[in-house]
Amino acid sequence: MATKHKPRVNEHAEVLKKEGNDLHLKGQYKAAYRKYSEAIKIDSKNAIYYANRAASSLELKECVDFPLGFRSFDAMQLQIFRCSSGREEG
């Protein structure tokens, strides 16, 4: 029987994500954006960090770009949807 390999999670990046989530919920979007960016520096393959940063970016009325080599199509679709959903000006 084949076992599914679970991706390894960087604990420090997860702590930063949680801190970002807490800041986002408090409406501190710029600080949350920075926490997610720090998490991305540690683990650039985790699509959740990009999606969370995009959510904070939208609250700031800014739209972030994904790196060209980013491999998570779902995260990129989420960003494109959010940026084109009418919540983002221009």
pLDDT tens-digit map of 19-36: 999 999 999 999 999 999
Segment 42-86, tens digit of pLDDT: 998 898 998 899 889 888 876 655 554 445 555 555 655 555 555
Considering the entire predicted model, what is its pTM? 0.66
Give the three-state DSSP class for 19. helix
Is 55:24 a contact under the CB 8 Å cutoff? yes
The string over 42-79, giving b where at least 16 C-beta atoms fall within 10 Å of a residue's C-beta and e elsewhere, is bbeebbebbbbbbbbbbbeeebbeeeeeeeeeebbebb
The full set of domains in the chain, from first to last, is 11-84 (1.25.40.10)
Opening angle at CA 39, ends 35 and 45, nearest 5: 145
Nearest residue to 58 (alpha-carbon basis) of 90, 22, 10, 14: 90
